[in-house]
Every structure is written in C-alpha cells, then in structure tokens.
Structure 1
Amino acid sequence: MVVTTQRRSLAVFAAAGALLLAACGGGETAAPGADRSLSIATGGTGGVYYPYGGGMATVLSEKLGVTATAQETNASVDNVLLVQDGGADIAFALGDTVADAVGGKAQFEGREITICTLGKLYNNFTQTVTTSGTGIRTVADLRGKRVSVGSPGSGTEVIALRILEAAGINPETDIQRSQLGAGETAQALRDGTIDAGFWSGGLPTGALVDLATTGQMVVIPTGEYADELASTFGPYYISEDIPANTYQGQAEPSPQVVVPNVLIVRSDMPQQLQQDITRTIFESKAQLAAVHPAANDLDPATAGDVGFVEVCPGAKAYFDQATG
C-alpha cells in the first residue's frame, strides 16, 4: 500500500510575508491570530518527519500566529515537487534528493526546481532491517529476497536503490521489490510478507522501535557502500554508526549510510518570512526535542553548512545573527 499524499490549499507567500512585516515592523513575528496558513510536507506516520513536522506546525502556529499544519506525504521526492508546484509551503527532504532536484537529475530530469533551504536539521540513517529467522545479515544476502525499498517518491527509495546497485544487486531483477513506508515495512516484517526493508530516518524511528520489541529485529549494516555512493553521487553520503542499544536487542553499533536532512521552501518565499520561520524553529529546539529527539541536533552554527543547495537569504540572516 502506498501512502496517499494529501494536498491542501495554501496561503500565497507574498501575502504571508506582507502580513508578517505589517504586523511586526519587519523584525518581530506576527501577532497571534493572524489569518494565514502554512503547510508542512513531512512523510509517513511511522517515520520521523511526520511527528517532527507536527511539532513544527505547533510552534509556528503558537509563535508566528499563523495556522500551520503538517501533511502526510511520501516524503523527499514528493515533498520537493509539492513545494515547487505550490502544494506545500515548507518541506522536509533528504540532501541527496535535493541535490538531484536542483541539478535536474534522476526523477527531476527536465524539471526546473527553484528551492532553497532553511537549514540542515539532522542526519538520516539508512536502517535496513530484517528478522532473525531470515538468515539475512548483509546487503549481499538480499539477492533473491522480498525487499521493500521505501515508499514511491521517497528519499528512502533513492538511497535503497543506490545501495543495492553498489552491492551489485539489480533492483529490477535480483529482488522481489515492494514499496512500503516505515510503518508498513515493520508490519510486513511482523507478518512475514517481506524478508527485509529499507528505511532512511532519524534515530530512533518509531515504527522500528515497535518492531524491535518483538526481539526478532536485525539491523543490516550498509556503511561499507558510503564511499562508493559519495564518489558517484556526491559528498553528502558518509558512514556513521547507529549507536548500540538504539533499538532493543541491538547490542553492537551498526555502520550505516548517512545523509543530511534539510528543510526547503520555494526560492520566492519572502525573505522576512524565511527568517521568521527559521528563527522560530531553531529557537524552539527544546519544545521540538520533546516531540522527537532528532530536534536536539538543531544548531544555527552548523545549519547553514549545506553545499548542495542555496541557503535561503532569510535563513542565512538568522544564522548570522544567532552566531554573530
């Protein structure tokens, strides 16, 4: 089953920016109750984007005086297109997907994508999981198996296909391929309808926390492929360990392919609105971390260190102020 993308009507950026400027003289946030809406494109309910985005919607609504909502989507690829086409104002996306988008590569070939980032949020870990009874312990063992590569239009799918190819596995012919989100992958592993599944997300991912309580979940390492992916696609791919005991029964660190998450908007969003959104999110770190611990990684000193997409001028202005 594929998660259905929900598209909602949005406020016009220029009107939202004008409202904020009028309400606060340019430097402060809008008065509570301002009649504006902002839509945040997240991901599936079993991952990190969705609860994190819900937390963002709450703080933006409370502190900017807008009506912000988090929408469930198929994640990164879907989110880039939603922002570009006006189906969302703000979106979570993986760095490799964003790099493809601005470079007109892969799924974005022939598309003009005009986006910028409000900053780097946290790293996504490729979490490839199976159950103990399958005998699968390496990516190479996936050959001939039933494997979920993530929802269609997700950053997980992009990374999964690239890892499989780096391991010499043809995703079209060498596996029985399905396309499931995190929650669906966990349930399919419980039910025995797939043998393994890829997920790219923050730590911990709720759906995998639940799966690990069965005592049967096994995390498959992927970190050995990071250098090849970096050489082929870009330096945003690195190897980093999932710390031991992140999940129940995971006694050892597990090296994984890691890629940063960024928050994106259309490049024509007014600069003051960019700055107000960025400030509100980064200055609400504690409140957001109470929703999901991935928000503990929010850091204005490093959030602008993004080499694959332009940092929005409003976000840069906030980072300069916050670290100056």
Structure 2
Amino acid sequence: MKAQRPRPPHFPDDAAHVEWRDHTLLYVAVAALIVLGVTLIVWIIDPAPPRTITMSAGPHDSSFLVAAEQYKRILAHNGITLNVLESDGSVQNLKRLLDPAQHVDIAFVQGGVADGLDTSTLMSLGSVFYVPVVVFYRGTGLTELSQLEGKRIAVGREGSGTRQLALKLLDANGIAPGGTTTLLPSDGLQAATQLVTGEADAAILSGDSATRGLMLRVLRVPGISVMNFDEARAYTRLFPYLDEIDLPPGVLDLRHRIPPDTIHLVSPTVELVARANLHPAISDLLIEAAQEVHGLPGLLQRAGEFPSPVARDYQISEDAQRYYKTGKSFLYRTLPFWVASIGDRVLVLLLPMAVLLFPAMRLIPALYRWRVRSRIYRYYGALIAIERGALADSTAEERKRLFEELDQIEASLNQLRMPLAYADAFYVLREHVGFVRSRLEAGAA
C-alpha cells in the first residue's frame, strides 16, 4: 500500500504583496527591538524627574524650617512640589532618611549625629550653613570645658543635635552623664533663663538656640560671659565635622563693642543630605536653591561661602560634584526645566540607540536574505516531491495532479518579484522546474 503524499505547499498569487510583507516584517521587527531596548534604558537608567519630593526640616519657627520653606518657593518656579515636614531636628531627620517607609528624599542634617548608623545609602549635596557651639557661663576666665566639671550645665533637650554634640564635647573633656556634673535637658530661651536666674552654671547653645538676639540679651546680663575656645584647632582635629570660626569684636553690637574681643568658636556644618536615588535634575535644582538661600553674607559666613562641596559625614554625590565644577548644563541654562529634562534624556539615549541601531542595520540584510532564500527553498521542496512522484509507479490520474502542481509552481514563479541580487538563483530554479517537467513527461510516455 502506497504512503499518502503530503499536501503541496501553498504559493501566494500576489507576489507584490509577498515582497512588501517581507520588507515590512523585517523593519517592524527590528524597530520593535530598538524601541524595547530604548524603553528599558529609559526606565532603568534615566527615568524622568519626579514632580513631588519630600523634605524633613526642623522644629516650628526654626532656621531649618524657614530655609525649607524658601526651598519650596524656589522649586515651585520649576514645577516641582516640595513637601516640608516638621521634625525634632537633625537626629529625627537622619532617621527618616534611613527609613524607606518614611519616603523622605532630602533633609537638613547637622554634622556629628550619625554615630553608629549605617549611612552608606545616603549622599550629601554639600554643606549649607554653620550651627556654632556657644558656651555661656556664670563668672569669667573660662577657656576649657573641663572647668565645668561638677557644675550644672544645660546641654539641650533629649533627641536634639545640640544635646548629642554637647555630650560628645563634654565626654572628650572627661565629663560624662552620671558623674558629679548635672546635665540639664534644656536649650534656647529656657536654658538662657536658667542661666540668668542661677538655676544653671553654664548653657551650651547651638544653632537656633544661639541667635544674635539671644546672645546679646545674655551677654548684657552682669556676671554672664561667653567661653573662648582656645583649643578650637584641637577640636577640629579630633572631630572632623567641626570648623573653627571667629566672632570679631563688635560683630554683635558695634556701638557697645560686643563682644569686646575676638571669640574663637567651634561649629559643625549642616549638610543637605539625600538618598542615593535622588534624580540628577532634582539635585541640580536643590543646589541652585541652596545658593540662593545660603549664599548671602551673614554673621558667621562670607558671601558665596555656602553651599560648599566640602562634605563631612557623608560622601558628596557625583551629581553635586559635577554641578560645583561646571554648573548647570547648557540645556538647563537656556530652556525651561521640563523641556531641558526631556532634551537631556534624549541626548543620554543617543549612545545606546546608536549601539542598538548599528547591529540592527547589519541584521536587516541577513534577515532579508534568509527570507528570500527560504521562499526559494520552499519551491525546491515542492519540486522534489513532484519528481519523486514522477519516478514512482503512478496512475494517469496521479500524474495529472502532479502536472497541475507543477503548473501552479510555474504560475507562481511568473508573478514572483525577485531582487536582482538573487536573479541567478531565480533562473536556476526555473530551469529546474523545466527539468522536473521533462522527467514527469518522460514518465507519462
């Protein structure tokens, strides 16, 4: 019993449609691959900047919160919404940054509060202002913190950066909690009041606690003095996050020459700390806002001193380093923020697009060549099947069906549009069709 012959392959009648489909499929497939690759690059490497970010600032009416509100107004000019959160100060700000559940992107953090915490996921955009340590005491002649041993010292409220820094400085001078020295949990106006009324022998103030107005009020009280840090240089060596700053004579009150002599102080700096995934465009906007807010001259700083790329406790980000060296890019200087953002991302994508496009351009001819040859091979498959049928013992009806299949092949070849590069293969195929026809006719005779 003869095995049943497989059905002949289908040959399209519209050859022009076949050629159009070959070109379209190739270009669409390659274009889809390029679009997919570029989309992945955009999504993973260079996403669009967010329109809303969150900042942890400081207590109500503090300089931290006032500065954050100024940042908010500046960022709003570029379509960025800054959500400002009140906090207890630098310690809580740092904990919020380290807790992903808090969704805080940026915060003011005073130097020296990161002891024992893993801050590798954070980066600094630079230092923005000083928060000097000012020690007021009853009496005169105090030049060392160790001289406060056994006295009552206001060191700041629990959880504040002032208290944490004060305890470090006192510990370096041999004064620790639980000893003969009484450490009072008060700061600001409360600490100054305790000092004036005699409830405290000394008060360590820092940041908003040591405002110009409060310092003048305290120094005008008879019997109250401010400590001169004669060992300021030693403190800056032992505590790298501290700087040595001076209060020149008369800087608080020129008319009454307050202070009468230069006062040496030590001061940590407040850094603008962010999470490592902060978008580069947002980083530029924040540093630009910091220049506008903190770049003016003040009681403790010269014009243009802040923001500074000198970071203390945290590694300065690469985007911040680039901004401090070269400033904003040409696009951001000349175009609105969101237009420049799109243009910047397009430029970033040119390189990966080129990397994908050149191999794709080389791949298209290979795919097209494979498509043309596969069509020719499909004809040859049908010819082989017809030839085998001609060689076999076949009836007149079977030979008639083989002739019909061969006529169908020839009709399809007559309409087939073959590229000139494959004309030789096309004419060889036509010759082989004639060869099979002759074999089939010989078998019929």
Q: TM-score, normalised by structure 1?
A: 0.70
Counterparts of residues 102-251 of structure 1 (less than 5 Å) = 105-106=115-116, 108=117, 111=118, 114-130=121-137, 132=138, 137-138=142-143, 139-201=145-207, 205-206=211-212, 208-209=214-215, 211-212=217-218, 214-216=220-222, 217-224=224-231, 226-227=233-234, 230-231=237-238, 233=239, 235-248=240-253, 249-251=258-260
Residue 286 of structure 2 is matched in structure 1 by: 277
Task: Report the 3-state secondary structure (helix = DSSP H, G, I; strand = E; otherwise coil) of the residue aligned with 1:118.
Answer: strand
Residue 64 of structure 2 is matched in structure 1 by: 49
Hey, what's the Cα distance between the residues in 2 that align with 1:195 and 1:270?
A: 49
C-alpha change, 1:225 and 1:282, in structure 2 (3 Å) is: closer
Question: Which entry has the higher C-alpha Rg, 1 or 2?
Answer: 2
Residue 30 of structure 1 is matched in structure 2 by: none
Task: Report the 3-state secondary structure (helix = DSSP H, G, I; strand = E; otherwise coil) of the residue aligned with 1:74.
Answer: coil
Q: TM-score, normalised by structure 2?
A: 0.53
Counterparts of residues 242-261 of structure 1 (less than 5 Å) = 242-248=247-253, 249-261=258-270
2:98 to 60, 70, 84: 84
Q: Which has the higher contact order (CA 8 A, sep 6+)?
A: 1
Hey, what's the Cα distance between the residues in 2 that align with 1:253 and 1:53?
A: 32
Q: Does 2:318 correspond to 1:309? A: no
Residue 263 of structure 1 is matched in structure 2 by: 272
Letter in 1 for 2:91: V
Residue 59 of structure 1 is matched in structure 2 by: 74
C-alpha change, 1:237 and 1:200, in structure 2 (3 Å) is: same
Task: Report the 3-state secondary structure (helix = DSSP H, G, I; strand = E; otherwise coil) of the residue aligned with 1:64.
Answer: coil
Letter in 1 for 2:79: G
* Unmatched 5+ stretches in structure 1: 1-13, 22-33
Letter in 2 for 1:310: Q
C-alpha change, 1:204 and 1:143, in structure 2 (3 Å) is: closer
Structural RMSD (CA): 3.6
C-alpha change, 1:208 and 1:181, in structure 2 (3 Å) is: same
* Unmatched 5+ stretches in structure 2: 1-42, 330-445
Task: Report the 3-state secondary structure (helix = DSSP H, G, I; strand = E; otherwise coil) of the residue aligned with 1:199.
Answer: strand
Letter in 2 for 1:230: R
C-alpha change, 1:223 and 1:116, in structure 2 (3 Å) is: farther
Q: Going by fraction, where is strand more abundant, 1 or 2?
A: 1
Residue 386 of structure 2 is matched in structure 1 by: none
C-alpha change, 1:70 and 1:192, in structure 2 (3 Å) is: farther
Letter in 1 for 2:268: V
1:221-271 CA distance string (max 9 Å, x none): 23415415623x4x3334332222343542111112232221111112222
C-alpha change, 1:252 and 1:74, in structure 2 (3 Å) is: farther
C-alpha change, 1:147 and 1:38, in structure 2 (3 Å) is: same
Letter in 2 for 1:124: V
The alignment-based identity, stated in percent, is 21
Q: How many residues align?
A: 277
Deviation of residue 170 (structure 1)? 2.5
